[in-house]
Structure 1
């Protein structure tokens, strides 16, 4: 049984996070390359070995020391298994599966203690043996510009695991700078995080 969904009737949440590791810790996931299309992590004992595959197909190996403040251990303390998807500009996209929105808040708070920045990219309900997903974001709180930027990113597949579109491509399409779009997406994601955390205080509909 996968950690995405178990027996029929099971219901979990998939949470996708952008994580910026603390620069002075030398996380091997980002120390070998600022860009990675695939990431494989093997943490055994006191050593972490990471293989990252660059967009050009080159495989690089990095090693690091495992301690209580490691990114992987932050997930483990909450019983989550991190799935590292890719790296772009030193930011890691990581997926985990949790039981409810309160667990999302706990995970983000735990990560904030060991990394520089955490941003929510996607929250989706995963139900049933086929692990079907339904995205749970409410975009009504966003400004038109934020919504347009976020919707374009979704439509173009920017948040997909196997994406082939870059932030600069989206910025060109919108006629704005890459930094302006990055800020717009970050602000939109922050508003979505607030909505998720507020929802953790309310019971789920039956």
Structure 2
């Protein structure tokens, strides 16, 4: 039996030995991303319940669009060439498997599992570099809770400024032990005073705590 975090050597159908990388992924994220107009999920109706995407080795994106029970609409399958700048391709380039959970107009909520927060930072930066609005909605750190439920950072009730601040704090390791970035360094990154970032983080933490309690 091979540990899941080890490399597994196998032979593919062409007889070429390849290494399978297996690892436990302990960071779950939900990101709201603006989609291209030619993306199959762009402008989907509210009756869509699930969208399954597969980026095939033939260079085509295979997409199944499933509607809610009771909707008078059969599942829709869309096949189109893969664009390197499309959102799902960017997720795949960072070793992530995207799941499109919902779509409203030009925005989709995409969830995935990541190996660590550095990948999250790079992923969001590349999404934004391709002229996309990318907003981090939720982070679940499965390593930080003894009951196995994970620690959840819910960003949906935060302002854009608060969301960007928390995103930077989490990705840079401010909440790690030991800290990956100090409060002073975080303030420098945000170009505000140390007391200013402290007050902002306190407000963010209070909002998140209120949300957890109300749930």
Q: Is the 8 A contact 2:138 2:152 kept in 1?
A: yes
Mapped contact 1:42–1:50 kept (Cα < 8 A): yes
C-alpha separation in 1, matches of 2:123 and 2:34 = 15
| Shift in alpha-carbon separation, 1:189–1:100, aligned structure 2, 3 A | farther
* Structure 1: gaps spanning 5 or more residues: 140-148, 151-186
- Structure with higher RCO (Cα < 8 A, 6+ apart): 1
Task: Give the whole-Å Cα distance in 2 for the aligned partners of 1:84 and 1:46.
Answer: 20
Flag as ranges the 4+ runs of structure 1 deviating above 4 A.
none
1:122-151: CA deviation from partner (whole Å, max 9, x where unpaired):
0111239x96322135x7xxxxxxxxx82x
SS at 1:103's partner residue?
Answer: helix
Q: Secondary structure at the match of 1:37?
A: strand
- Say whether 1:78 aligns with 2:94: yes
- What TM-score do the two structures reach when normalised by structure 2? 0.59
User: Structure 2 regions of 5+ residues with no counterpart?
Assistant: 5-22, 179-215
How many corresponding residue pairs?
151
Of the three residues 38, 46, 52, the one matched with 2:59 is 46
CA RMSD in angstroms comes to 3.1
| Cα deviation code 1:167-194 (max 9, x no counterpart) | xxxxxxxxxxxxxxxxxxxx62552232
Cα separation, 2, equivalents of 1:57 and 1:118: 32
Aligned to 2:12: none
Q: Is the 8 A contact 2:36 2:106 kept in 1?
A: no
Select the structure that is richer in helix. 1
Q: In structure 1, what is the Cα distance between the partners aligned to 2:89 and 2:103?
A: 19
Provide the residue aligned with 1:194 in structure 2: 165
